Amino acid sequence: MKSYDEIVAHTQKIADINGAMAVLSWDKETYLPAEGAALRARQMATLSAIGHQKMTDENYFNGIMSLLQDQALNEEQQINLIRLKRDIEQQTKFSTDFVEKMSLAVSEGYHAWAEARHKSDYTIYEQKLDRLIQLKKEAAEILGYENHPYNALIDQYEYGMTVDILDNVFNQVKNDLVPIIQNLVVQEQPDTSFLEAYFNEDKQWKFGLDVLRDIGYNFQAGRQDKSAHPFSISMGSAADVRVTTRVDEHNYAYMLWSTIHEGGHALYEQGLPTEEYGMPLGQAASLSIHESQSRLWENHVGRSLQFWQYYLPKLKMVFPREFQNIDVNTFYRAINKIAPNLIRTEADELHYHLHVLIRYEIEKAIVTDEIKTKDIPTVWNELYKKYLNIDVSRDADGVLQDVHWAFGSIGYFPTYSLGSFYAAQFYHQAKRDIDSLDEKIAKGEFKPLLQWLRTNVHIHGRRYQSEELCQKITGEPLNLSYFINYIERKFLSL
């Protein structure tokens, strides 16, 4: 492979394979019949191996390296090749032997975790988790790092992110956010019982589709289906980006905000440049920037007073009896209720980051042996008492609640919080750039915001790392003050 075009053609074939895997994965979560699970697993393993083989093809890497020395490349071509070079290096750093050991540890870890969670018995999982932690420490050494082994692990999920930046972020969570939350939870809580009436599934579903369409999701290049856990997935380009949701007929809050959240992810993917199909400039910047898009739509838009000034009258037409006596302020207060709970995925907009903080502190400490594997539950429970002031009665609702570590994902959790914090900073900038954004949202005009996100975030693909993109959009790196200010304004006025 000697020309840029040949590199593109090869890269796009890899994208075809990854896109096919995305379809198989989407089908697995939506429509796959029960007995098809093992067949699907082998189909995906085979495609994954073929993709890996193409990605680590020596001719491909050598072609990229020699093109990178070529001065005739334009800026976009250079960026694409630099990003590809790193992607390939990440995939080739580990020996086949190591990859197989990790794969086995993940498989055993996952099964042990599932059983341990089911029986709420950490001891079933402890040994397998320890094996995974030892391998991740080994991985950090193979990958290489400066200062802290955790840097190597975060870097895999969030290129360029470091313990230094995260320590700074989570210190502010501790110093500024924790007191705000402690102040909020002792105040009188709004009544939320009206959100737990009976809400017909089909009506909820239709309303969710309307909201998705309104915020700009293109149903000609996507669709919504049902799955056990909501997700969004791109089949490889903006031409086919799908979302799923789950409807709970006894909890109105469940479906709509997860729909908006996944819609935010999908709007990002639908805004990526199709002319860069398969190339880094056609891909999302990072996990945290992805999460910034979902959180921005879910929280800054979907949980705002303006949004419900527009939608509550519409919602009342769908569920007249259920919401007849509810005014928009009552509704707004109810959907922004703050209360500590044990489960991260059920946390409110503020407590969520305390869940992540706890995981961040534990992850950092386990890769340096400051916490031993057998002691994780004890530390976990202590931290939940310290930060959320709640007791963990059983490990199933504590250390065993997340699958991430069992999948060998250590260093992933911080990207969730980073996403929220970037969202606050971006949204602050959007309000400065877009004339009367609040008023527009109160009128159901979402196009200016989507257009702003398209121009400032989506269109760039992977041109910038997260922090570079943040600098470019807002003129400064990640600054938690925007998030703190946002929640102070929002929650102290409630």
Please give the residue ranges that form the binding site for its own copies (CB under 8 A).
Answer: 12-13, 16-17, 19-20, 23-24, 27, 31-36, 38-40, 42-43, 45-47, 50, 218-223, 225, 235-237, 239-240, 242, 277
Question: Of these residues, 158, 262, 349, 363, which one is catalytic?
Answer: 262
- The secondary element (H helix, E strand) that includes residue 225 is strand 224-226
User: Cα separation of 294 and 180, whole Å?
Assistant: 24
Q: In the complex with its own copies, which residue's Cβ is closer, 19 or 208?
A: 19
- The secondary element (H helix, E strand) that includes residue 481 is helix 481-492
Is residue 477 a contact partner of residue 160, using CB atoms and an 8 Å limit? no
Burial 256-290 (b: 16+ CB within 10 A, else e): bbbbbbbbbbbbbbbbbbeebbbbbbbbbbbbbbb
Strands annotated E in 135-269: 224-226, 232-234, 241-245
Q: Which one, of 10, 7, 72, 76, lies nearest residue 281 by Cα?
A: 76
Q: In the complex with its own copies, which residue's Cβ is closer, 30 or 485?
A: 30
What minimum distance in Å lies between the beta carbon of 185 and its own copies? Answer: 44
Q: In the complex with its own copies, which residue's Cβ is closer, 10 or 355?
A: 10
75 is catalytic: no
- The secondary element (H helix, E strand) that includes residue 226 is strand 224-226
Q: Which one, of 357, 367, 474, 364, lies nearest residue 418 by Cα?
A: 357
User: Cα separation of 288 and 292, whole Å?
Assistant: 6
Q: In the complex with its own copies, which residue's Cβ is closer, 39 or 492?
A: 39
What minimum distance in Å lies between the beta carbon of 301 and its own copies? Answer: 24
Using a 10 angstrom Cβ sphere, with 0-12 exposed, 13-18 middle and 19 or more buried, the burial of residue 145 is middle
What minimum distance in Å lies between the beta carbon of 274 and its own copies? Answer: 9
Q: Which one, of 20, 14, 45, 462, lies nearest residue 235 by Cα?
A: 20
Q: Which one, of 108, 75, 56, lies nearest residue 463 by Cα?
A: 75
Q: In the complex with its own copies, which residue's Cβ is closer, 54 or 344?
A: 54
Is residue 277 a contact partner of residue 9, using CB atoms and an 8 Å limit? no
What minimum distance in Å lies between the beta carbon of 150 and its own copies? Answer: 37
Which tokens is 261 given? 């959240």
What minimum distance in Å lies between the beta carbon of 413 and its own copies? Answer: 32
User: Cα separation of 92 and 283, whole Å?
Assistant: 21
- The secondary element (H helix, E strand) that includes residue 210 is helix 201-215
CB neighbours of 249 closer than 8 A, spacing ≥ 6?
198, 199, 200, 201, 204
Q: In the complex with its own copies, which residue's Cβ is closer, 220 or 493?
A: 220
Q: In the complex with its own copies, which residue's Cβ is closer, 12 or 78?
A: 12
What minimum distance in Å lies between the beta carbon of 215 and its own copies? Answer: 17
What minimum distance in Å lies between the beta carbon of 119 and its own copies? Answer: 27
Residues with catalytic roles: 262
